Structures are given as structure tokens and as C-alpha cells.
Chains A and B, each alone.
Chain A
Amino acid sequence: DIQLTQSPSFLSASVGDRVTITCRASQAIRGFLAWYQQKPGRAPKLLISAASTLQSGVPSRFSGSGFGTEFTLTISGLQPEDSATYYCQLLNTSPLPFGGGTKLEIK
């Protein structure tokens, strides 16, 4: 099975900063990767599919990129409401694992 490793597991940044979260796959995947945002006590929210396709209604400060084994979620111009845990997920295979998560704290 393909494993996903997210880094860092914790990130602290200030409003206006640009942050990057990385998701590494144990073998090359064809961009079938999604990113989610989860706030405490809430269900996850799909931000990005197919590695780089922003979902409708998601602010443009969120972007995704990558190919092969390394993928990134970038938030440009952090806002207070971006405080959350972010997960990547492998798609189009079985199983569909999630990464371990990255908790983003806004200072």
C-alpha cells in the first residue's frame, strides 16, 4: 500500500505569512491527491482535488501543486480563520489513506 507522510506535524505562523505543507507518497502517484481543512469539532472540508484544483468557494490564497511523490499545499497571506488541521488524501486507488495531519496555529 502507498503511504502518505505529511510534514510538518505542527506549524505556527502569523497573519499574512505564507506557509507550505508537504505530503510525500511512498511511491509515485499521478496527482490523485486531495487536501482538506478540519477545524475543531467540525467535519473536514475539501479544499483541493487532483493535487491543484481549487474547489468552488475556497479562497484563492490556497493553492496546491506537486507531482510524483511530493505534493504541497500553500497558503499565501494567512488569515486568522485558517487556523485548523490540514490533511492530504490519496485518491484513485485502494486504500485511500490520509496523511497524518498538520496542525496550523496562527500566532
Chain B
Amino acid sequence: QVQLQESGPALVKPSETLSLTCTVSDDSMKTYYWGWIRQAPGKGLEWIGYVYYSGSTNYNPSLGGRLTISVATSMQQFSLRLTSVTAADTAVYYCARLVGPTTGFDSWGQGALVTVSS
């Protein structure tokens, strides 16, 4: 059973960059897609984007050009970078494994709360 773990700063100042890393417990990164989902306090789930081990990505257009998701398979990690954050980016950020584009996210990290505040 693969384990995923998010890590990164819990507090980010407005206009700065939010950076999170997800560490994958096994060496399956070249088999699956790897994604990020967030959930604002008391709200529903919002898909952020995903990356394939090759580096190809699929992003939520609502995040405009602020988003970068990258992968480092040798380190069994993938990362999220969101620039120019505002209070609206305050959320629990989950990393998750996508078995394939038609199957859904079948393994999730426990989530990391990131608060945007000065």
C-alpha cells in the first residue's frame, strides 16, 4: 500500500509563493500520474492538477499561469508551486495518485493545511 506525505510551509504571506512536496513511499512513480487537490476550510474539493512521470501536466485553468507541478522520480517526489497567493488559496492541500486519466485518485496523503496570511 503506497503512502504519500505532503511537506512544506504551513504559513505563506500574500503575494508570495506556496510550495509543497509530496513524497511517495515506493518506486511506482513511473507507473502512475500524480496530482494535487485542495479543500478550503468548510468547502468542497477542488482539483489543482496532475503530472506524469515524463513531466507532462494537466492543470486547472482557473489557477491561470500561477501553477507549476513538477516531478522528481529519482527522489520519489513531486511538487506543487503556486505563485502570487491570496487568502483565497488558504486550504488543505492533498497530494494523490491517479492510476490513469479514467480511474480516479486511489491513494491520498493526509493533507497539509496552508494558510495565506501576513
- Chain A residues packing against B (C-beta within 8 Å): 1, 32, 34, 36, 38, 43-46, 48-50, 55, 87, 89, 91-92, 94-101
B108 surroundings in chain A (CB, below 8 A): 43-45
Partner of B105 from the list A46, A95, A97, A100 (CB cut-off 8 Å) is A46
Contact assessment for A43 and B103 in the assembled complex, using a CB-CB cutoff below 8 Å: no
**Nearest Cβ distance between residue B41 and chain A, in whole angstroms?**
12
Docked CA distance A46–B60 (Å): 20
Q: Which residues of B contact A (CB under 8 A)?
A: 37, 44-47, 58-62, 94, 96, 99, 101-106, 108-111
B103 touches A95 (CB 8 A): no
Q: Specify which chain B residues have a CB less than 8 angstroms from the CB of A46 in the assembled complex.
A: 104-106
Contact partner, B103, options A38, A50, A94, Cβ 8 Å: A50
Q: How far is the CB of A30 from chain B (nearest CB, A)?
A: 9
